[in-house]
Structure 1
């Protein structure tokens, strides 16, 4: 059976054993306990993470300390505070583990080395970035144009596993609705 990282990459590009060995040498496996922070606001962002197992939430806290959930990441998903990671700044977001989490970590320096030495990986990361951008645009547009029910149904369609793994209060925050509204949607997902 292929290592998870290789299987993940080879969904988009095929690598020789030599290429994969080089790429793999630039990743580190890290373990985090439930409740711990992979990234904390105000600190440098040193790594992007590919989740091997577990679940994380990427969160922004406004001036009133209200939590805004940007995204959830689970197995086979990438996550970091991308602007801070890519531009070398400090985090404006928190990346917190909702479950014990194991992840591959990749520094920006190693990312650049991999892309410079294995052109296929440049294509891989470009494809991942484009897919992430599309998903972000869809999420933004859902807040601008979709009803709470439509956002809920989109979540059911695109990320059904979240419904079983994330507390309802967090799902409500992610969808931009109250806990009560989510409960109504949860009880009658297709009746309105």
Structure 2
């Protein structure tokens, strides 16, 4: 998280030639989640805490009723209840982080690439409307070739154009873990789409392309 803040506040921004963005459009958010490699499902820590509390209360009521109406031991049911909850994603999942940045100019995105290379705990990277250009995608795409954690990449509302698409092709032909890619309103025309289509002939991981 600190690395992302360093990117935002210490890396040179796009400067006055970029289209202005109102302060209320700028946002940075993080969410710590647990991700299941087996199912591909995600649950946030907050959701898991709510689930834990709900399960705990339900099992407490069940155990109390069980003690009153059965000769079986309290301990046996307690172990059974525990094993039910142990099947939750928090047991089998990996702790990851999702990152969402909007409105901040992230030009010179070599810094973003450095973050992707340095941290293998980033599950989702949403960097829409951050003034990323086609040349910036050379750094990000190169990092995606080496990255094995990012499942979602959101680049919407960045004018990366066909140059950016060409760089993404290199990532898509090598990366096997990216599942969702959002290229909505990124200035890619028919030529860029053709390049991406060629890359998708060999890509075996991507499931959702906007």
Query: TM-score, with normalisation over the residues of structure 2?
Result: 0.27
- Comparing both structures, which one devotes a greater share of its residues to strand? 1
Give 1 or 2 for the bigger CA radius of gyration. 2
Query: TM-score, with normalisation over the residues of structure 1?
Result: 0.28
Which has the higher relative contact order, 1 or 2, with Cα contacts under 8 A spaced 6 or more apart?
1
